Amino acid sequence: MEVPAIAAAYEVPVSRSLRRRDPRQGTRWGRFVLIGVALAFLAAFVLLPLLVVFAQAFSKGIGVYLAALSEPSAWSAIKLTLTVAAIAVPMNLLFGVVSAWAITKFQFRGKSALVTLIDLPFAVSPVIAGLTYILLFGARGWFGPYLQAHDIRVVFAVPGIVLATIFVTFPFVARELIPVMQAQGKHDEETALSLGAGGWQVFWHVTLPNIRWGLLYGVLLCNARAMGEFGAVSVVSGHIRGLTNTMPLHVEILYNEYNYAAAFAVASLLAFLALLTLAGKSLLEWRQPELKHGTRRARADLEK
């Protein structure tokens, strides 16, 4: 018999301490508080600035907005940004697949060093990376005299921008593929080899279908960083208007010139591209939920 029933039978007052409290009530309120704090933070630091960008971009009308985007220097910055991303992303795609395959499928000396080098752009400031390219390929750099003698321009030109972008973005594809390929193991590839398949057949018909969602996920992240990179590109570009300015650099120049409408117009285009990337990322996570919860193994596992 329950305590309240016994107390009622014998007319004994029940102490409040004996009354059972629903433990879910505190959990429910805690959940509401945490969700409210998260939504408030998201609204204040993500949604509100995003709304301000689009509001300022269209503040003077659609005509001014389209004029700012069709202006020659803006159009040149847009084309350069897309060109650099179109070069850097496929190269990082190739590097990511090769490095992830080597790390997860083979044992070799220097594996730990390779993993460390993949993580290097996460630890080095993009500005330092851009300065490194200046010291290597600049007029007074290590290879500067040779490049000048053969009329080859790297820094303050498109090649330097591409190199800097590749450096800051090359971990993304590899770091998405490594945990996926580790989780899959070697069983499928070994089975295909035992049945007489060649190396390329194993890659195209076994490995690639198994990693396609992780590969697309890494490409999306890599592309987003390539289009939005500022620090390293700012150092090596030279800020030559109409020639070496990407979209982020063009936004900075317009803002410094107090041309706010044009600056926010170009910034809104970058924000729109970021939203498209976010939509693609969410779609991939919906199609493959394990991408959202994928974890990396400990570095010691990679060094075995």
> What's the pLDDT tens digit per position in 54-71?
898 898 889 989 999 989
Q: Say how far residue 134 (Cα) sits from the centre of its chain.
A: 25
Query: Residue 137: which of 229, 236, 243 has the closest Cα?
Result: 236
242-266: b (≥16 Cβ within 10 Å) or e: eebbbbbbbbbbbeeeeeebbbbbb
Question: Which pTM value belongs to this model?
Answer: 0.78
Token pair of 230 as six digits = 């500022």
Is 148:139 a contact under the CB 8 Å cutoff? yes
Alpha-carbon dihedral angle through residues 128, 131, 136, 138, given to the nearest 10 degrees? 170
Whether 208 shows a pLDDT value over 90: the answer reads no
pLDDT, tens digit, for every residue of 256-293? 999 998 999 999 999 898 888 888 877 777 766 655 54
* 173-203 pLDDT per residue, tens: 999 899 888 888 888 887 888 888 877 888 8
pLDDT tens digits for range 136-166: 998 888 998 888 888 888 999 999 999 999 9
Report the pLDDT value the prediction gives residue 291, as an integer from 0 to 100: 53
- DSSP character at residue 186: S
One-letter amino acid for residue 224 of the chain: A
Q: In this structure, which amino acid lies at residue 189? A: E
